[in-house]
Structures are given as C-alpha cells and as structure tokens.
Structure 1
Amino acid sequence: MSKKQITAVVELDKSRYKTKVFADGHFIYADEPEELGGTDEGMAPGALLLASLGSCTAITIRMYADRKQFPLETITVNLAICAEEEMDKGTVIEREIKFTGDLDEDQIKRLMIIADKCPIHKILSNPIRILTK
C-alpha cells in the first residue's frame, strides 16, 4: 500500500441507494439489493469491505511470492462476514485462502503468514476510530 493518504469521495443523490464512489481517479457504484430498496447496480457496502480485504490479501501474497520466486499460479480468497445482528459482540470475518501452483508445505505456511501482513488486514485487526465532522 502506498505511503500517501488514502481518500475517497462518496456521493448519493435522490436515486435511492445507488452511491457513486470516487477514489484516486477511479469510479465504482455501491448499492443495496432490491429487497432492501436499492437497485442492485453495485456491490453492497459490506461486499466492498470484503473485496478490499480479499484483494489486498491476494496482492500482498502475490508480491511476496513473486519476490521469493515461489511457483504460485493463482490465489483465491473467499470471504464472509457475520450477520449484522451478531456484530454487537464483535465482527467476525472468515477468510479462506487457496493456492494453485507447485508449492511445498513450507511455502504455503509462509504465504498464510504473509496474508496477515496485508495493510487492510492490519487496519481491520486494530481498533478503529471514525471521526465525523
């Protein structure tokens, strides 16, 4: 992750929940599914959170594997977050990582350790304060 500050701008007009998200010259939509009143034209905010963790995990593993010249072909990260009703006890995110390639047991163990070094994992594993003004 870059040393520059990460920023995002989010805009929502009167078009229900379809939200425009701008970050570092890129654009995506976030939305809610139709059963919650959205148009389902973008990922739900919780899915975006999981996507951030999953993509950061995969990128961190890939960078390490490439640097160490591990024979890693593909990385698949499956994620799930606990139901909103359970979050008052703490939020639980399940992350399953699968690799393909001619990796030995020690390389796989090392890649699993490296997965926890991803910057988004660090952010989500530490206390977070949100300052709203």
Structure 2
Amino acid sequence: MNKKQITAVVELDQSRYKTKIFADGHFIYADEPEDLGGTNEGMAPGGLLLASLGSCTAITVRMYADRKQIPLTGITIHLAICAEEEMGSGTTIERKIELHGDLDEEQRKRLMIIADKCPIHKILSNPIKIISN
C-alpha cells in the first residue's frame, strides 16, 4: 500500500474567489458561481469534495472489478451534499451508485461493499481534525 502523504498547495490572489490548486504535479481551479461573487471558472469547493468522493469510489470499484475479473462495463455515481444550514449536527452526503455490466446479484453486492472501502470514504466517515498553523 502506498504510504505517500497527500499534499496540495492552494493560492488565492486578487482574483476574487478563483483559487489555484496544485497537487501532485497537477493544476486545477476552484471558484464560486457568479451569483456568489465568483467568476464560475472552476468547481465550487463543495463540488470538489463530491468529485473527490465520487472519483475515488469509482476508481476503487474499478480496480477491484478488474482484479477479480468482474464484467463491470461502467460506473455512474450521483452525489449530493446537504445544505450548509443543515450541517450543524453533521453533514450528510447522498451517493447513488449505478453499476453497469452483466453482473449477478452477488457481484453487485460485493462491489457495493467495496465502494465503502475507498480512501476518501474512509476519511469522510471518521472524525477529522484540522490543524491550522
């Protein structure tokens, strides 16, 4: 298992909310929609969080299916996060996973169990401590 620490560098200059994100040699933008004062030139931070969970889930399921030679032809994941006003007692993320391919019921059940083993799911399902220096 890879023990490399995940790191990112985020920079925000005078560009309102358009934020530069550098991680592991890759570059993307985050932003806010125009109605919140942003330029809408990147995903909103909440969208990035859902994208992280969705892509990690899909990759984890695909890796397992490939390793076990399960005839999975595709995965579609729909995600939604509760409104910020509802986060006082916790945050709820809804995740609907659609598995495509000629799968029997046992394979579907196993892949759904594997979906919960993705690293981002584990991170989000446990208490998180953020230390700011």
Q: Same fold (TM over 0.5)?
A: yes
Q: Which residue of 1 aligns with 2:131?
A: 131
For 2:28 and 2:52, locate their aligned partners in 1 and report how far apart those are by CA, in whole Å.
Answer: 13
Q: Which residue of 2 aligns with 1:52?
A: 52
* Alpha-carbon distance, 1:85 to partner: 0.2
Q: Which residue of 1 aligns with 2:17?
A: 17
Counterpart code for 1:62 = R
SS at match of 2:43: coil
* Alpha-carbon distance, 1:60 to partner: 0.2
For 1:132 and 1:78, locate their aligned partners in 2 and report how far apart those are by CA, in whole Å.
Answer: 32
Counterpart code for 2:115 = A
Q: Which residue of 1 aligns with 2:74?
A: 74
For 1:2 and 1:77, locate their aligned partners in 2 and report how far apart those are by CA, in whole Å.
Answer: 25
Q: Which residue of 1 aligns with 2:89?
A: 89
The TM-score normalised by the length of structure 2 is: 0.98
* Alpha-carbon distance, 1:129 to partner: 0.2
Counterpart code for 1:87 = M
Residue pairs, 1:26-41, within 5 angstroms: 26-41=26-41
Identity of aligned residues (%): 81
Structure 1 runs (4+) greater than 4 angstroms displaced: none
Q: Which residue of 2 aligns with 1:99?
A: 99
Q: Which residue of 2 aligns with 1:114?
A: 114
Give the length in aligned residue pairs: 133
For 2:47 and 2:2, locate their aligned partners in 1 and report how far apart those are by CA, in whole Å.
Answer: 23
Unaligned runs of 5+ in 1: none
For 2:122 and 2:102, locate their aligned partners in 1 and report how far apart those are by CA, in whole Å.
Answer: 29
Pairwise CA RMSD: 0.8
For 1:15 and 1:97, locate their aligned partners in 2 and report how far apart those are by CA, in whole Å.
Answer: 36
**What do residues 15-72 of structure 1 show as CA deviations (whole Å, max 9, x unaligned)?**
1000000000000000000000000000000000000000000000000000000000
Counterpart code for 2:93 = I
For 2:80 and 2:40, locate their aligned partners in 1 and report how far apart those are by CA, in whole Å.
Answer: 19
SS at match of 1:52: helix
* Alpha-carbon distance, 1:2 to partner: 3.4
Unaligned runs of 5+ in 2: none
SS at match of 2:48: helix
